[in-house]
Amino acid sequence: MVMDPEPGGMPGPPHPSPLTHQAADGRPRMVDVAGKPETHRVARAEGRIRMAPRTVRALRENALPKGDPLRIAEIAGIQASKRTAELIPLCHPLGLTSVEVRLELDDATPGVRAEATVQVFGRTGVEMEALTAVSVALLTVYDMTKALDRGMQIEGIRLLEKAGGRSGAWTAPESSDDGVRT
């Protein structure tokens, strides 16, 4: 909140900014969630990394010298979700109650599909934590397979659904195979 000057230059009563992460004077701020009730909150996100079919084959055959990139990427995604507030300015640090990151080979892409589900009992949602988990998991796959395929593309990172809090539940519209929302 900022104080409106009254006649004589003295601060008047505070008024809220219409923007949640910006004060009326334009300065950044972290949203005050102290007055919000704690609720169970869940967010689920997804993304893909597109790669050459031979790279998918190498992953399927576990023929990479660095170990199993998919399992290591799942751990990286979990770790990243717990550090979201360190990476994304103005995110609240949260005591996450559950994080699950799953990576699966996807021959149709071809590539790997990542999905993360994050939960917390708190005053703010976990959408950013789910999106961060997916992003870092896919970056880890890239890092561990780049010797085979430097042309991989990370794409389609998006929130699939969220639940909890004042705004309640939200589900993303379905996407077609070409990535266009319907």
Residue 26: phi, psi to the nearest 5?
Answer: 95, -5
Which CA distances in Å does 139 have to 1, 17, 70, 110, 112?
A: 38, 36, 11, 16, 11
* The length of the chain, given as a count of residues: 182
Q: Which of 4, 68, 106, 143 is catalytic?
A: 143
Helices (H), 83-162: 84-87, 127-145
178 is catalytic: no
By the 8 A CB rule, do 134 and 115 touch? yes
CA separation (Å) from 29 to 16, 18, 92, 176?
Answer: 12, 13, 11, 37
Alpha-carbon distance of 113 to 101, in angstroms, equals 11
d(CA 139, CA 133): 10
Residues forming the active site: 143
